Structure 1
């Protein structure tokens, strides 16, 4: 525990210097978790670890989604709305389809349903891992906004594919099959009520804070408290309505950021402090308790699958979806490459394993963990160099 606290302190002390290197927060704390895996697994009860992994991933993802979305400006997004829309509506289903074919082709002994589930949980991109690119001032605004919006909304849009894959796979071990109509209605409900809960919560919070601040009733520091309350209120409200809480958190952040009439610097300050601490803990837990399983079950097929999902399976559908937009090839490849896999993929896998029974659960978790591990390293190493490159190329035009 002292070693972990010392590592948190050391990163904070040298965070500005480290931000200029390839040693990103996810790389450092995943590595630390992996190094301390043995002592931590021997010390902590398995039940506590399992529940803690899910709660920590959910809390971190909710806050990151809301915070990132609060910086998405509708007036700017209107000029570039077609890019994230194409990537979500065309690119994401193509990614699931291609991923299913690749997963089934590399492991024909598995079922098509498990191949679909594998592709679905590895399709959502991660807001926490994408921050290094989104917040980099050298990345052109239209690219940063596109990556931000896509990573925020694709969790909810991928969920129907995840549930479909898990449901079909679970029928192989005695569960009742679910009709396609039922799944379609469930998917529509998840997204619709998620958006509704997010809009109402974000708007109500912004209006209440504006009212209080114009009457000088609220301390500035209280803004961070209300930001956290709004993010979790959106999530809980969506869950009560039957909607997707992660979509709600992202939509609430967008609505809040575009409705609130005062400065929102308190969100950035919170995420640089408590939010960063949560992100450190989340990747440390991943390195300590999930990545070792991925390494233990790693085989040639698993490694190839992980690399393909981060490259061809991601980049090709995104490039196809952006055909006709006028973007140069380098920008299409940039958007395709920066689709890191992280907390969302891990969280979906853990939640489906808790809710459904399907064959080869350990292999699925190992595959997802290994792919996320690859993503942490590959996207972490390339984030700053490629951000500078795309910025310089843009300026030379």
Structure 2
């Protein structure tokens, strides 16, 4: 019996891997493919019977812990700082508001009692980190940095809130205690879970990094040791009553930004392990479902999914982001990228395992909502980003580069570039002093950089650099990219000196949307203040009839080049919803003045 089990399990994983090529080619949400394969292999397809709720929840929880650790590990601290306030607001208050609004819809659509309706809202209240990270990072979508950071931090940190709400509401339904006393206990539990998750996640991240630096292991064992330590942290925090999911995300954030020993190797190991975790979780949850039971509740579940997509999440996102100055199109995109995924299905198992009378109905409804979300939103992320004008055009072409860890050094890497045709280094652009080129391999012969002469096409250049400088060298070794008309429109047709005062810009264009206290500041300082202290290529600052666009930044994050885009609002879609806080304030002042 054991050998057929191995054959079936490995075969399903292999089929999932092989079909990924079709998903990439046709733009399908890859996680939907994994989920579909699980459904086809289950009772409604090949007939594989799997109904063990506890093992399904165990596999899903372990896979989710790995995915969240990888999500934190790959999140830059700069991005986290930039998006922390709005993203955490979305991950807590936003999830609670979404769950409440979905609960109202579910009550009238399904006719469930109020608490069970809110329980369904909590189950589908959070976005799925695996789906969002895949579509934003692997899917090749380059969007404005503040929007990307907000989505990544939100999706990586909102699962603990959804888990807490699900468990809390299930206890309320099943408990015989007085609701008032139970609410106090649950509020205390929320503080303990989140507090322990954050504090032990920070401590665990520092301990993992310190141990990796001090303990000498075989190179291949470092990644295994780090991941095992993260899973130990997940289990320990859960045993102590904290949120293990939040703890592993925070630990990954700490470890990923401290340049842990073997960072490059660990990054590759985590990438492969996360793919396995995603495939295993989606296949398991696909096998666990019974599609024949979906028909009875398909229409009401789809109605709830549409309400969630077009009303509940957009309203919650808009209200949460009002204080943070997001533009209409940015708020619209963040509300659209609210994909539901394996986490919602995983949470749908909890009422089943807890013996809730309507548990099967809630699980089936959550499953259909996830399928609808992946079909509706997963296929349209790229077109939506393009329509809203959020895709940042690439400023450079492809780069051929390989990075290698240095033994015992986390602050430098060995980078190997292949010199490609028409790259800036072939056109005479000099390498910066900090690049430290040491070796050139030309036609199979190695030579010191000092004696290699002018670089030639096909040369391999070896150099030791700090990781933060890699993207700057990429520009020197990249193939050229011609700026199209659309790219020129995005970055602005006019160039400004970022060192010039804002007053000169105001005088030239008669702008009225710039506060007087900023007139003496340089354009660069004004933009960084409006962008929250950090800037990335493609970031925009609206000044009424014009947009200031970051075209280039320096090694220390300073703005080196600014573009001026005139009348950009005319080319943007006119969305009647998602008014920004500034637009609402201007409308109030206008109405008050006219009155």
TM-score, scaled relative to structure 1: 0.87
Change (3 A) 1:19 1:141: farther
Within 2, Cα distance between the matches of 1:17 and 1:346?
A: 25
Change (3 A) 1:22 1:236: same
| 2:34 alignment counterpart | 29
**Conserved 8 A contact 2:42-2:48:** no
Matches within 5 A, 1:252-267: 252-262=251-261, 264-267=263-266
Within 2, Cα distance between the matches of 1:134 and 1:263?
A: 25
Greater Cα radius of gyration, structure 1 or 2: 2
**Conserved 8 A contact 1:33-1:288:** yes
Within 1, Cα distance between the matches of 2:167 and 2:19?
A: 42
Matches within 5 A, 1:9-158: 9=14, 12=17, 15=20, 18-38=23-43, 42-44=47-49, 46=51, 49-107=52-110, 109-135=111-137, 136=140, 138-158=142-162
Change (3 A) 1:236 1:392: closer
SS of equivalent residue, structure 2 residue 158: helix
The structure carrying a bigger strand percent of its residues is 2
Within 2, Cα distance between the matches of 1:301 and 1:15?
A: 31
Report deviation, 1:374.
Answer: 1.3
**Could you say which structure has the greater relative contact order, defined with CA pairs below 8 angstroms and 6 or more residues apart?**
1
RMSD over aligned CA atoms reads 2.7
Within 1, Cα distance between the matches of 2:265 and 2:386?
A: 28
SS of equivalent residue, structure 1 residue 380: coil
Q: Deviations over 1:71-108 (max 9, x none)?
A: 2222332233232133234422321221222222323x
TM-score, scaled relative to structure 2: 0.60
| 1:226 alignment counterpart | 225
| 2:308 alignment counterpart | 309
Matched, 1:248 2:247: yes
Alignment partner of 2:371 out of 360, 363, 373:
373
Q: Deviations over 1:120-153 (max 9, x none)?
A: 1110111111122331451223222212211222
Greater displacement, 110-119 / 144-153: 144-153
5+ long unaligned stretches in structure 2: 394-486, 492-595
Q: Deviations over 1:189-222 (max 9, x none)?
A: 111111222112111001111234xxxx333322
Within 1, Cα distance between the matches of 2:199 and 2:236?
A: 9
* Residue correspondences, number: 387
Within 1, Cα distance between the matches of 2:173 and 2:10?
A: 41
Change (3 A) 1:164 1:6: closer
**Conserved 8 A contact 2:39-2:291:** yes
5+ long unaligned stretches in structure 1: none
Report deviation, 1:265.
Answer: 2.7
Matched, 1:362 2:367: no
**Conserved 8 A contact 2:69-2:251:** yes
Change (3 A) 1:367 1:11: closer
Change (3 A) 1:272 1:15: farther
